[in-house]
Amino acid sequence: MFTGLVDGIGALRAREPRGGDARLVIAVGDLPFADAALGESIAVSGCCLTVVEFDAVSFAVDASNETLALTTLGQLPVGAPLNLERALLPTDRLGGHLVSGHVDGLATAVRRREDARAVRWRFELDRRLLRYVAHKGSICVDGVSLTVNAADDAGFEVALIPHTVAHTTFHALREGDRVNVEVDLLARYVERLQATKGES
């Protein structure tokens, strides 16, 4: 589990074909990494991946064809910045919201505008996922926990404070870019419970 509070910005160092899928090598950048361990989970721009190799400045993960096809990781160029978050410890503060690292789909950044010191972004998202997006609810965009400021039948908007822009890959986001989205876990479970209501 994660919180959507980014620990550091890394970069895609290499994408190596491996038996039909790929191994990704990721430079840790400013991610605190001194106590890294094989097998630990790290959210890479919102995708929960398992560390299979590491050294002092990078780690490697194996990405399945599903991950490569359904997230931005299959298309990002080498050198692209990545939001990194290590898994939540039981003693950590839950400052964002509960995030699984299981990406639900891709959204497209369609409009950026200044709003005092904040930056507002509008994203287009598939309608099958928009039913889980609520005004003032939580959403995870490229691994960042955000509050939904507006939602309609075509997309949603978020507002980013200067700290968020400076300490995530949002400083490099451009209109037309695709981003990984994970909708709120609670919304998915509520829908499932409603669908199975009355079953025993």
CATH code of residue 22: 2.40.30.20
Identify the pLDDT of residue 95. Answer: 86
User: Domain end: 51, 86, 121, which one?
Assistant: 86
Q: 24, 57, 86: which is the final residue of a domain?
A: 86
Asked which of 25, 59, 86 is the last residue of a domain, the reply is 86
In a domain, 1, yes or no: no
Are 72 and 126 in a shared domain? no
d(CA 72, CA 76): 6
> Whole-angstrom Cα distance, residue 16 to residue 22?
5
Is the separation of the CB atoms in 24 and 15 below 8 Å?
Answer: yes
Question: Which is nearest to 126 in space by CA: 108, 110, 148, 141?
Answer: 108
The Cα–Cα gap between 109 and 121 comes to 7
Using CA atoms, how far apart are residues 46 and 77, in angstroms rounded to an integer?
Answer: 17
pLDDT digit string (tens) for the chain, length 200 residues = 999 999 999 999 999 999 999 999 999 999 999 999 999 999 999 999 999 999 999 999 999 999 999 999 999 999 999 999 999 988 888 888 989 999 999 999 999 999 999 999 999 999 999 999 999 999 999 999 999 999 999 999 999 999 999 999 999 999 999 999 999 888 878 887 888 876 76
Q: What is the model's pLDDT at position 142?
A: 98
For residue 95, is it within any domain?
Answer: no
Is the same domain home to 18 and 66? yes
Residue 98, domain member (yes or no): no
Which of helix, strand or coil describes residue 161? Answer: coil
Mark whether 75 and 14 lie in a shared domain: yes
Per-residue pLDDT, 189: 81
91 found inside a domain: no
**Are both 58 and 112 inside the same structural domain?**
no
The pLDDT, as a whole number, for residue 147 is: 97
Cα gap 169→34, rounded to integer Å = 22
Q: Whole domain around residue 157: which residue ranges?
A: 105-192
Looking at the fold, whether 136 and 172 belong to one and the same domain comes out as yes
